[in-house]
Amino acid sequence: MSAPLASLSGYRRIVIKIGSALLVDHGAGLKKQWLDAVCDDIAALRTNGVEVLVVSSGAIALGRTVLSLAPGALKLEESQAAAAVGQIALARHWSESLSRSSIVAGQILLTLGDTEERRRYLNARATINQLLKLGAVPIINENDTVATTEIRYGDNDRLAARVATMTGADLLILLSDIDGLYTAPPHLDPEAKLLPVIAEITPEIEAMAGGAASIFSRGGMRTKIDAGKIATSAGCAMIITSGKPLNPLKGIDEGAAHSWFAPSATPVTARKTWIAGQLQPAGTLTVDAGAERALHAGKSLLPAGVREVSGQFHRGDTISVVGLEGREIARGLAGYDADEARRIAGHKSIEIEELLGYAGRAAMIHRDDLVMTEATGKKTEKKDEVHA
């Protein structure tokens, strides 16, 4: 098991999830002092070279305050209206607080389908990565203006975990109203002890958060453990800590109580096994011997090595890669629709813009979205021509 890093500045990319109760005082509006302090923490991390993404709740809570809606449960259309107003206000507050450190904020509103449907997943990932490349801090939330009970996450813990895995983050921080995972609910059991390090999310760990049949299984710690399973299986560590004090991220480095969940020791294998085994290929790419050797060497598949395109698929669909003998050697997520793939197959990447009329992606399948399904028994010579 890997050990927690001594400082948050040792991580490369961090996703921070913030609940609405931390950010909005119901009836009184935004907690500006708290938000400014968190933004100071974010600025300090960025100064140390850490990329930061924020998954921020609070749109509905802020919107109902702006609209002076009565306390109590809201109807669906009232929640959606509150979200519409609150999202504007929430984005403005984040932008203003981050701008104090000359940081630009970018708003991303996601629905469940944006992370579960491959084409939309790839588009969302590309947008977020571009924001990070340009030096902005993405402020992400579920799009509650259109989400319904049937098509929503329902909690931002799991949304944050999906964002962390989507963007290849190496740490997810869940700022909560409790400072970590305890052996039992501390408000019910005075003997409950904080677990500072969780090597693996076992059934015993899940039971501490409230099992499926438990009264604690709705929201709360249970959704945080669900988020931990998503994040750690993809190689992303997770921290649960209290977000109530000012500067809660700085507090982690200064020894504030928290629980650290270790990432999986084999994250790439786990993620790519999911690609290979759980999705049915929507089409097939036949590649030449040079491309096959290059794929085994860990390269992306470029159009030059593709000899034939079969099936009707769209960008983001899972497709099969076969050698000239017809046996499958890999599966991956298509970088192009089938019709586009047929037009650029066998051509060099520099010809894509001329063939398609726009500057497309260099790879037919990017190596991060490709898993080998057949091991090679031959060594690749250094002088092999690389088609992928």
Q: Would the annotation count 189 as a binding residue?
A: no
> Residue 251's closest CA among 38, 48, 84?
38
Residue 385, C-beta contacts closer than 8 angstroms, at least 6 positions apart: 290
Cβ contact 205:181 at 8 Å? yes
Q: Would the annotation count 156 as a binding residue?
A: yes
Q: Would the annotation count 177 as a binding residue?
A: yes
Q: Would the annotation count 48 as a binding residue?
A: no
As a dihedral over the C-alpha atoms of residue 98, residue 99, residue 101, residue 104, rounded to 10 degrees, the angle is 80
Q: Would the annotation count 247 as a binding residue?
A: no
Whole-angstrom Cα distance, residue 174 to residue 382?
A: 46
Neighbours of 134 (CB within 10 A): 9
- Residue type at position 264: S
Whole-angstrom Cα distance, residue 302 to residue 249?
A: 42
Whole-angstrom Cα distance, residue 37 to residue 16?
A: 14
Q: Would the annotation count 337 as a binding residue?
A: no
User: For 243-336, where are the E strands, in sequence order?
Assistant: 258-261, 283-287, 306-311, 318-322, 328-333
- Count of residues in the chain: 388
Neighbours of 334 (CB within 10 A): 28
Binding-site residues from annotation for substrate: 57, 144, 156
Binding-site residues from annotation: 17, 57, 144, 156, 176-177
Binding-site residues from annotation for ATP: 17, 176-177
